[in-house]
């Protein structure tokens, strides 16, 4: 099994890269998806969020009001840390379960952990390869404003809440340029996959020598 950590700033293009890796045969573990599972209605995680941030974090149907929570945590580092302390342990457990299942089904599987907050988690060194999708912050703000209907202030606060681009790039083994077209990014992922496949062939040859 090969474990890849995939990350990138918000609106950098990471989802495009993750989707293409899945198409090529990787098992992708989406930490945003796991985060939603961790705070689903009736979960201990959602109960802890309500206890920490108040009942105003709930929608009328009892589910989490993500925009309301986002307005709190993206402007308050202490609140963001509190939220992470609730959600991250559950997410890590769920991710480990999915990785174990993938490895049991195929010991040679490539497992991609799609983690928006990889650097913040302190888990960079646990992966064979760290892939960063990089798009300059100013362009990511524009994407949030134009494509996701955030106000400029909201977009800037969300980008600023994440680690600086330089820190993310310093941790990368591979950098994919997400500032261009979707097709261009997918082509970069294809080249990365070819490299991974060749490295696996070379490793097998060494093992047999």
CB atoms within 10 A of CB 54: 11
Query: Long-range contacts: 50-58, Cβ < 8 Å, 24+?
Result: 52/82, 52/83, 52/86, 53/79, 53/82, 53/83
φ/ψ of residue 205, rounded to 5: -65, -40
Per-residue pLDDT of 24-74, as tens digits, reads 999 999 999 999 999 999 999 999 999 999 999 999 999 999 999 988 998
pLDDT at 147: 82
pLDDT at 152: 92
CB atoms within 10 A of CB 199: 13
pLDDT at 184: 98
Whole-number Å distance between alpha carbons of 173 and 8: 13
pLDDT above 60: residue 208: no
pLDDT at 205: 64
pLDDT above 90: residue 204: no
């Amino acid at each position: 099994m090969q474990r890849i950590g995939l990350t990138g700033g918000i609106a950098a293009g990471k989802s495009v890269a993750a989707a293409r890796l899945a198409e090529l045969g990787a098992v992708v573990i989406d930490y945003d998806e796991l985060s939603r599972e961790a705070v689903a209605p009736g979960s201990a995680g959602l109960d802890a969020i309500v206890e920490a941030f108040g009942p105003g974090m709930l929608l009328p149907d009892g589910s989490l009001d993500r925009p309301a929570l986002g307005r709190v945590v993206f402007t308050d580092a202490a609140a963001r840390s509190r939220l992470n302390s609730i959600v991250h342990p559950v997410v890590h457990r769920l991710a480990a379960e999915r990785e174990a299942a993938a490895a049991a089904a195929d010991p040679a599987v490539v497992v991609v952990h799609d983690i928006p907050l990889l650097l913040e988690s302190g888990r960079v060194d646990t992966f064979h390869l760290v892939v960063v999708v990089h798009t300059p912050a100013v362009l990511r703000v524009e994407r949030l404003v134009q494509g996701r209907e955030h106000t400029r202030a909201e977009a800037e606060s969300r980008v600023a809440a994440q680690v600086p681009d330089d820190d993310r790039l310093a941790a990368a083994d591979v950098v994919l340029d997400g500032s261009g077209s979707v097709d261009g990014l997918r082509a970069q992922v294809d080249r990365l996959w070819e490299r991974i496949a060749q490295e696996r062939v070379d490793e097998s040859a060494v093992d047999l020598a």
